[in-house]
């Protein structure tokens, strides 16, 4: 099972927290940087969550996945300040980092590659950088490959992740669904659930 401490008391007793990173606002809805948001939306739909409501500097709801009580969070602080939302949720829910899964875009992976792992460096991802600064390291995350532009120029990279996918919407949807599959596997079994080559789920 995914490790982590259950909230000790209060109305919102939650075992685990899944935070999908992205930017708020209609202009960012289908951009590469918002794939974490999309995974959270799929999880909420699959498991009959009530509509995410404002809380923890984001949109939040709690429900049940694989027999565990799981909070779903979309930080609305904008990507560069994602840690503010995640830290507030962990603090209020009285959860340790071991109970946290962060879902985010990964430009160092080709489109469609997926990996569930225990943290590692932020690799220049400003959302992860913010979480590291305000929460610390040693949490689990799902990395969803969105590809990389032809240039390493920071402005070019920023424009790329804030642009919509070039891939067909069915391919994007499949990747988002696989990201949700990975999050469900983490809820059931933790990181070893995907201790298979990146991009695959165990049978």
Active site residue ranges: 33
In whole angstroms, what is the distance from residue 158 CA to residue 114 CA? Answer: 21
Among residues 38, 72, 43, 74, which one has the least CA distance to residue 59? 74
Distances (CA, A) of 64 to 100, 128, 144, 151: 15, 26, 23, 42
Give the three-state DSSP class for 70: strand
> How many C-beta atoms lie closer than 10 Å to residue 117's C-beta?
13
CA-CA-CA-CA dihedral for 53, 127, 30, 174, to nearest 10: -100
């Amino acid at each position: 099972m995914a490790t982590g401490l259950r909230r000790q008391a209060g109305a919102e007793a939650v075992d685990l927290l899944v935070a999908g990173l992205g930017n708020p606002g209609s202009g960012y809805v289908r951009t590469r940087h918002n794939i974490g948001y999309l995974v959270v939306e799929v999880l909420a739909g699959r498991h009959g969550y009530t509509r995410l409501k404002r809380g923890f500097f984001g949109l939040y709801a709690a429900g049940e996945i694989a027999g565990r009580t799981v909070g779903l969070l979309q930080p609305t602080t904008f990507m560069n300040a994602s840690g503010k939302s995640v830290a507030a949720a962990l603090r209020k829910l009285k959860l340790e980092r071991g109970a946290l899964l962060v879902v985010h875009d990964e430009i160092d992976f080709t489109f469609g590659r997926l990996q569930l792992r225990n943290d590692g460096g932020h690799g220049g991802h400003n959302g992860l950088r913010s979480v590291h600064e305000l929460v610390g390291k040693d949490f689990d995350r799902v990395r969803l490959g969105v590809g990389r532009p032809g240039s390493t120029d920071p402005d070019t990279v920023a424009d790329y992740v804030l642009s919509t996918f070039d891939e067909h919407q069915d391919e994007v949807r499949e990747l988002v669904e696989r990201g949700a599959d990975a999050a469900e596997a983490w809820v059931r079994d933790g990181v070893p659930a995907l201790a298979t080559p990146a991009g695959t789920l165990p049978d």
